[in-house]
Structure 1
Amino acid sequence: MGRVDLRLMTRSADLPRTRADDALKALSRSANKGRLWFAVAALLAARKGATRRGALRGVAAIGIASATANLVGKNLFPRRRPAAELLPEHRRLTKRPTSSSFPSGHSASAVAFTTAVAMEHPGAAIALAPVAAAVAYSRMHTGVHWPTDIAAGAAIGVGAAYATRHWWPRTHEGPAHVTESVRLAALEDGDGLLVLVNPHSGVSGADPTEEIKVSWPRATIVYPEPGRDLVEQLSEELTRSPGDIKAVGVAGGDGTVAAVATVAAEYQLPLVLIPAGTLNHFARDVGVESTAESVESVATGTGVEIDLGYVEISGTEGDTHRWFVNTASLGGYPEMVRLRERLEARKWPKWPAGAIALIRTLRRAQPIRLELNGKPHLVWMLFVGNGSYAPKGFAPTSRPELDTGLLDVRYLRADLPYSRARFVIGTLTRTLGTSHVYRQHDLRALRVRLLDGYRRIATDGEVGPLGQEFGFSAKPDALAIYRAHHDA
């Protein structure tokens, strides 16, 4: 290895003097302590979406790569740096590093950042790859690293980038898979369409009313009445005009969408989604990214059928039921979701936002004694998802499929010592799959009976009625949604 290193260094030293010598020296210095990559990350993070995710993943990868190369590698494998005399004087750095030569920390950071960006935005990584390669080569060109130092650093960088997926797995991109495509009524100019508009949804609170009027001039538009339940309000509208309403639409955030979707399911009407919220989780899952897509599908009558969750509730307020499009829960889970989404709205990545929300919620949680399908349990919180969510930790963020016919049941045990602390450690290290305090099951139905009184259930983040017994089930093809055909 030493002979190969020396031979390659000699060949590099024999290269004729050019302007590239000064450029490589400047580039090498700019990457000290990762400054170059942090500047690039700031530029990438300025744009929302894949580039921002790539920047955040890249910074995390640099942290892992730098610690591995500089704190571990250099201490385990001390090695002299190349002698200054091997290179012409004009190529030598003014201030040569004195730490171990093996491995190259600059190369580790450059490759870690570029590989991590590639996981989120391959196009940006292609533009960065020549810069990363130049930084790595500059360490040999300026005589401060052997070629094998650079190769080892690059290997560490690749490993560090992939290590970020342990804590921050890549989520499903694009719409969730739906097998059943259906023909729905084509509504010319929105004739027969009742749309509920929440003008206060979204980051800027922009009212989508004018866009809806232009798109569907014959549609009926209503707004939430202050202090009134949305489901009750829409149900009254539908009862007042039986037969005239052929579809219901909604422009708002996830809470508004969930309420309108439950009404659509109850009255067996198709749903029109107009993404107008801050996060639009459900619309993204379904595959509706813009109003224009909904306009096209309403005009052509194309759509899909998806599953819904259903829960029968027995309690002090009599027997009732509720639909849910996303999640239902007992305990502190709704509070955790709301806190996580507030952090996400402030540009926090999903995983750190979920971890912070989880820790804060668990500090205030009270244990719940209950039976799950007849078996007694003591839990901190219970989560029931409509469909199988990913990832399988306690901060689910996406659904690869919307027609599995399954419920995603997750709970945190409270009958084991230090269960909350063990759960947090398992979440942070992503080892929940082997933890005794966390359980996850995909079920078609779940029966829950509380053993210590009554509690309110939350569906899609909204607090519901008091109950003591809850019967959860998945209802296949319960909701039709207008959506354009997507290629498989």
Structure 2
Amino acid sequence: MKMGWRQWDRELFGQVAGRHWAGAEPVLPRLSRAADYGRLWGAIAAGMAVAGGRDGRRAALRGLGSLAVASLAVNTVAKGTVGRARPLIDVVPVIRRLHRQPVTSSFPSGHSASAAAFAAGVAIQSGPLGAAVAPIAASVAFSRVYTGAHYPSDVLAGCALGVGAALVVRAMVPPPRRRPEPGPPAEAPALPDGRGLHVVANAASGPPALLSTPAARIRACLPAAEVVESTEDDDLTEQLEQAARAAADEGGALGVCGGDGTVREAAGIALRHGLPLAVFPGGSRNHFALDLGLDTVDATADAVTAGRASRVDVARAAAAEGNEVFLNTFSIGAYPDLVRVRERWSRRVGSWPASVLAAVHVLRHCSPVEVELNGRRRRLWLLFAGNCRYSSWGPAPVRRRDLADGLLDVRYVDGGPFARTRMLGAALTGVLTSSPVYVSASVPKLRLRVPGEGVHLARDGEVARAPEGLLLEKVPEGLVVYRGA
């Protein structure tokens, strides 16, 4: 005869109550009482905030935020929906029982939900801190059965709810992006005070300067560097070429300050002249600079002064009209529009919901384009090719694993029969990557042909008319760049 889950619950509860647990009697009841109203987790969070530095403070905030969401869900929804009587505590030794037995619904365990939510939230931010908190959280959850306050299934449901709350908080407030692997170390000249560094700062990039321009901050950090500002009336490419020739004559380095499009232009010139590149963040997004660990002008100045550099991959789009490099992404079709929608919503609802909203928007409002991929004709809504593999999911990934893996991360959304309906369903249900109309692969090169007219492409956010034929390929470890500590 099969045992029902309620009977299993009672049997397991009785086994825990009837067994002597060495050393547990003086500890677990006190631990259970300490977790009342979240006091235990508040104390642990305070300790992490004081002793754990910036990562400890972030982990404490994420843990408490997850706990708050879990407590709200348990106390306002779960307990009112599922009313369940507390276990009979006759079989529980008196020394284990709580001084004041709870009277609310037994299902689910609020203490277990809070414990799991706090531990999972801390672990999402910091693995080592999460590993330290996990045994305490597990002990609190077990103590609820040990003291007779809950059945085992109450505790398991509470833990599941707590982990779910931490994942909800993670979707709403993603952890800070982790820097990818920077590539193998490279020799680059250390330039004290910036001597031998020739920088072109694009004044048209990024938000308007409030106090001082990026060029002024570079001059303040590196007084011996040659810094030229490029305005909308100047020829940015020619200014970068002149700076590169001067840097090559002095045995120095080329510097650039601007957004990803400006940095892309400078990278192609530095690659052609065999020069190391110093990237100063000066755009709105600064994806490449952030991947190098260069989030401020001071960080780049420190790397230049120390001569700290790495080799990174460069991707190249070769056409009959000439070769153009890109450092982050190449795209055809609706990808630029998809990224714009995703970034507009990601800070409000989190990266996963924003990706879903962006995919729905693209498939509702955009039309497929005709392309040939390695000789095979396809109708696509969008084609993405990343310089190195990206770790995030979906058609608009944002985080790379490393900067020198020798591969292109190719992803596209098919535009064949019924693809719009299937892709909309996949986006709305959150299973974009398992949809048959979404394809991804990591390849060293990709041959493209665009037979139609009026098709545009984007390289690192810069839009241009697509040539008829293109070869996307890698220049493995082709560029030397200064990087953060």
TM over 0.5: yes
Match of 2:179 among 174, 183, 190: 174
Q: State the Cα distance separating 1:123 from its structure 2 match.
A: 6.9
- Equivalent residue runs for 1:175-190 within 5 Å: 175-179=180-184, 181-190=185-194
> CA 1:140–1:186 in structure 2 vs 1: closer, same or farther (change >3 Å)?
closer
1:298 maps to amino acid: V
Residue 240 of structure 2 corresponds to which residue in structure 1? 234
Matched-pair contact (CA < 8 Å) for 2:388–2:404: yes
Aligned to 2:5: none
> Is 1:263 matched up with 2:274?
no
What is the letter of the counterpart of residue 230 of structure 1? Answer: L
Deviation of 1:382 (Å): 0.7
For 1:241 and 1:400, how far apart are their aligned partners in 2? 32
Structure 2 equivalent of residue 146 of structure 1: 150
Aligned pairs (5 A) from 1:195-214: 195-198=199-202, 201=206, 207-214=213-220
What is the distance in 1 between the residues matched to 2:206 and 2:300? 18
Could you tell me how far apart the structure 1 residues matched to 2:312 and 2:414 are?
31
2: distance between equivalents of 1:63 and 1:74? 16
Please point out which of 14, 17, 21 is paired with 1:3.
14
The separation in 1 between residues aligned to 2:63 and 2:340, in whole angstroms, is 24
Give 5+ residue unaligned stretches, structure 2: 1-11
Q: Secondary structure at the match of 2:397?
A: coil
3-state SS of 1:114 partner: helix
Give the Cα separation in 2 of the matches to 1:157 and 1:6.
25
- How many angstroms does 1:273 deviate by? 2.2
Alignment of 1:97-116 (within 5 A): 97=104, 99=105, 101-116=106-121
Report the equivalent of 1:431: 431
Letter in 2 for 1:305: R
Shift of 1:330: 0.6
2:74–2:108 CA contact under 8 A, matched in 1: no
Of residues 307, 328, 352 in structure 1, which corresponds to 2:330? 328
Structure 1 position 373, deviation (Å):
0.9
Matched residue SS, 1:353? helix
Q: Which amino acid aligns with 2:340?
A: R
Change (3 A) 1:347 1:74: closer
Of residues 212-221 and 116-125 in structure 1, the stretch that sits farther from structure 2 once superposed is 116-125
Q: Contact 2:247/2:254 (CA < 8 Å) preserved in 1?
A: no
Which is further off, 82-91 or 457-466?
82-91
Q: Is the 8 A contact 1:308 1:325 kept in 2?
A: yes
Q: Which residue of 2 aligns with 1:309?
A: 315
**1:104-126, Cα deviation, whole Å (9 max, x unpaired):** 24422431242132121357658
Aligned partners of 1:128 and 1:202: how far apart in 2? 42
Residue 331 of structure 1, CA deviation: 1.0
Matched, 1:120 2:125: yes
Shift of 1:355: 3.1
The alignment partner of 2:230 has SS state of coil
Give, in angstroms, the shift of residue 402 of structure 1.
Answer: 1.6
- Given that residues 65 and 157 in structure 1 are in contact (C-alpha distance below 8 angstroms), is that contact kept between their aligned partners in structure 2? no
What is aligned with 2:415? 414
How many angstroms does 1:466 deviate by?
Answer: 4.0
Distance (whole Å) between structure 1 residues aligned to residue 136 and residue 450 of structure 2? 60
Deviation at 1:436, TM superposition (A): 0.9
Percent of pairs identical after alignment?
31
Residue ranges of structure 1 left out of the alignment (5+ in a row): none
Question: What is the alpha-carbon distance in structure 2 between the residues aligned to residue 425 and residue 73 of structure 1?
Answer: 33
* 2:260 counterpart residue number: 254
Shift of 1:213: 2.0
Please give the per-residue CA displacement for 1:83-110, whole angstroms capped at 9, x wherever unaligned. Answer: 59999997255xx32x4x2442442243
Aligned residue number for residue 284 of structure 1? 290
The superposition leaves residues 13-43 of structure 1 with CA deviations (integer Å, 9 ceiling, x where unpaired) of x99xx9x89x959x64679xxxx99xx99x9
Give, in angstroms, the shift of residue 404 of structure 1.
Answer: 1.9
Q: Is the 8 A contact 1:171 1:398 kept in 2?
A: no
Number of aligned pairs?
Answer: 458
Residue aligned with 2:249, SS: coil
CA drift at 1:324: 0.3
| 2:280 equivalent to 1:274 | yes
Cα RMSD between the aligned structures? 4.8
**Matched residue type, 2:191:** L
Q: What's the TM-score, normalizing by structure 2?
A: 0.75
Measured after TM superposition, the shift of residue 401 of structure 1 is 2.0
* 1: CA distance, partners of 2:86 / 2:417: 53
CA gap 1:415/1:48 in 2 versus in 1, 3 angstroms:
farther
Matching residue of 1:444: 444
C-alpha distance in structure 2 between counterparts of 1:398 and 1:135, whole Å: 36
Instruction: Select the residue among 216, 223, 229 that pairs with 1:223.
Output: 229
> How much has 1:357 moved relative to structure 2?
3.1
Choose 458-467 or 58-67, whichever is displaced more.
58-67
Q: CA deviation at 1:447?
A: 1.5
- Counterpart-to-counterpart distance in 1, 2:15 and 2:196: 77
Counterparts of 1:62 and 1:430 in 2: how far apart (Å)? 25
Cα separation, partners in 2 of 1:385 and 1:174, compared to 1, 3 Å: closer
Pairing 1:81–2:82 present: no
**2-structure distance, mates of 1:231, 1:247:** 16
Partner of 2:4: none
Pairing 1:298–2:300 present:
no
Q: Is the 8 Å Cα contact of residues 238 and 245 (structure 1) preserved in structure 2?
A: no
Does 2:97 align with 1:91?
no
Matched AA of 1:219:
A
Instruction: Tell me the secondary structure at the aligned position of residue 400 of structure 1.
Output: coil
Aligned equivalents of 2:215 and 2:75: distance in 1? 56
Residues 398 and 324 (structure 1), Cα distance of their counterparts in 2 relative to 1, 3 Å cut: same
1:51 to 1:329, Cα distance in 2 relative to 1, 3 A: farther
Please list the CA deviations of residues 207-258 of structure 1 after superposition, one character each: whole Å capped at 9, or x if unmatched.
3444422332121112231255633542355468873573221234434333
1:89–1:134: structure 2 CA closer, same or farther, 3 Å change rule? closer
CA contact (8 A) 1:174 1:285 kept: yes
SS at match of 2:439: strand
In structure 2, the CA distance between the partners of 1:302 and 1:423, relative to structure 1 (3 Å rule), is same
- The 3 A distance-change label for structure 1 pair 142 and 242 is closer
Please tell me the residue identity of whatever aligns with 1:250: V
Deviations, residues 139-182 of structure 1 (Å, cap 9, x unaligned)? 67997x32525542454257637977997998973342413x22
